[in-house]
Structure 1
Amino acid sequence: MADQEPTAIPPTGILPGAKRPVPGRSELVVMIAGLMALNAFGIDIMLPALNQIAHAVGLTAPGMESDNRQQMIIFSYVLGFGAPQIIWGPISDRFGRRNPLFIALIGYVITALACIVMRDFHALLVMRFAQGVFASGGRLVAVSIVRDLFAGRQMARFMSLVMTIFMVVPILAPGIGQLVLFVAPWEAIFLVLALFGVIMFVWTWMRLPETLPENARMELNLARAIGAYGEIVKSRVTFGYMCASGVIFGALFSFIASSEQIFREVFGQTETFALWFAGIAGTLACANFLNSRIVEKIGMRRISQTALFIFTIGAGLLSLLTYVFGDHLYIFFPVFALCFGCFGLMGSNFSALAMEPLGKIAGTASAAYGFATTTVASLIGMAISSQYNGSTIPVTLGFVCLGVASLVIILITERGKLFSSR
């Protein structure tokens, strides 16, 4: 049995200098998952509405086939989400977790409401970018709070529980979006996003303590920020797993952006798209839960590296089957769901491995990791999904290439030694 790392939570539950106790583990898991879900909710709930939004902002005319440019409604948000984490990190390490979080949540609500009145495609992209900027603050603070309180395998286990709850969002969000479209226009989807932001603001304001004590805060200046990011680059494990995550998560974003087109145009599943998407996302949720149960016994490296091999081989097999037999839902869905589930065994473990060496600058480390897994990954995902041509082969071949590239990075990081129990 692996040794248990101590947590930073004292027996009383009250952190030094905090005015309220840390919520119980169950509430804290759901709260952190909710903060991280701001991002997933901001993407997945509108997947069924992309065609309608594209018509409303003049990108396409009713009855036309989809335009790959509609993917930018997703990618503009993701790009806004990624890069600003580089700024949110040092800010949260200097001013603590609560105040930056509240600014981020207020901005998220305001930009969601502003998207309702946008009728120009480029103006909508700008506002979506801004919404992503504020969502990144919520995600950054959430991960930093976890690193403030946990370390090592306990952090990986906690994050797996968080991701299990978090994955309810991509399972349900497209269905929620579809239900909204049954009773209201697409603008109501942004009202739902604003309401979610308000709920998280009230909850964290009332229940979340400050987890970064005054004596642990970093001075905010350019030289220190550059120095902190320099530490990340110098850490072989942190930088290696950050780069590997940035590459492999490009596959995740490429599918999310093109999923509506794939199920509607390739497989003719317009009305049931949300159900098929939920089925694929469900495998990811199950994998996250499995990881939370086995990671302390088996180890982060052994699990995540095995999953990466399965992902790459599965994507290669799906590409071959599609090339030989063509696009068929009964072939695509089970194999693709298996590949997608591998993210549940890679994501939280890669994150914990990258964050573990840099606990003293958790906010900055989380920012760098978030940048790699969003901005870099979204640019890679954009390049792959833009190749969509009415077939799934461009996406699945992209998965193979990203799997191989990520594996090479990990081999270099681990000096050729894989499947360690550490």
Structure 2
Amino acid sequence: MGITARGAGLLVAAVALLVVGFRFAYPELTLLGAAGAVAVGYALLVALWRPRLKVTRHADPDRVARGEPARMVLTVRNAGRLRAANLLAEDSCGERTVPVPVLRLRPGRDTTISYDVPTDRRGVVPVGPLRVTRRDPLGLVARARPYSGTVPVWVHPRIHPLTAVPRGAGRSLDGRVDGVPHGSITFDSLREYVVGDELRRVHWRTSARVGELMVRENVDTSLPRIVVLLDDRAAAHPDPKSFESACEAAASVVAAALHADLPVTLLLVAAEQPTDDGLPASAGDRWASRVVGRLRARLAARAATAAASGAAEAGGGPLDRLAAVRLDAGDAGAALRVATARLRQQRLGDTLVFLTGPGGRGDLGHLGVLRGAYPSVVVGVFGAAEPTPAGATGMVVVDAADGAAFAAEWDGGRRW
């Protein structure tokens, strides 16, 4: 509760009039002072009365990619029996406020307002609470009260569709990615017989039907396990734009892997590594099976609107984690050494995707110790002025200006 300048002036004047009136026996001044004191007291009683308002809000949608539209629909209903006169309301949306028309809202009536939520920056935009300010008719006292809670709007990194996926290193009977064109595990197709083919591979039933010798073509299949390591150290990203590009690349790789039903794990360098909060470090396939349903549905409509199904209540999906992550200013070298040591010990997959900025190019040597645990290592460097040399033999380095350029390089025919 706060007294306005008008109310403070009236209160001081009332006290002065009462003192002078009683001191020098002027009943007129005493009456004026008493009237002013009564007016201030009435204003306090009016401001103390809490109007019964029912506030509901709905974000449509509550999870979007950066730059996509999102609207907040706010409904305020007068659930009391008295007219809630002299009410001023404003809703908080990030760093700005939105006025809400509730002046003289009649009992049983409601007012609805919708406005755009800013989505030009990746992150979590808190919307609410609604602040309702009640004033007395004379404008002497004003009191602001919050109504409803805060609803977060998750602004995910923009996703660039990726068609290529790593082939992996281990064979799998139920794999979905061809690792070797001429293998001996899974049937792929039939072709005409050529000199040198083994007769045991002839498919006699089809040969009898078409009148020519037909040979079974088998392939080896693999099931790659992808580990995405996002470098969130402030030292690695002198320009925040490179970090935003790295987040877009990480979201694109994760969405592509989930869309292809491939196990994938998302980790951060500087932040505390996830263990059992919905993004387990050693069981990416378990949480991937939970989030792939909703991701596939939204990717079918538009790849940039993918979101995690398990994050609706707790915000624990991979894209929500990317929306909430910030640059860490801790010990850059120590954080990367700890992360690489953990990856080497746990062996979470066979393909490592490391995404960093210009400041992280000097630390690529730390990834050389992971070649034994991860046969395929892909490094994405964003915002570098010059090409980045490979830090170790067999390491694929992709220099990209932004997420779109990374997606083009990723699908440009490289083999992991």
Shorter-chain TM range is under 0.3
For normalisation by structure 2, the TM-score amounts to 0.24
Q: Which has the higher helix share?
A: 1
Q: Which has the higher strand share?
A: 2
Q: Which has the larger radius of gyration?
A: 2
More contact order relative to length (CA 8 Å, sep ≥ 6): 1
For normalisation by structure 1, the TM-score amounts to 0.23
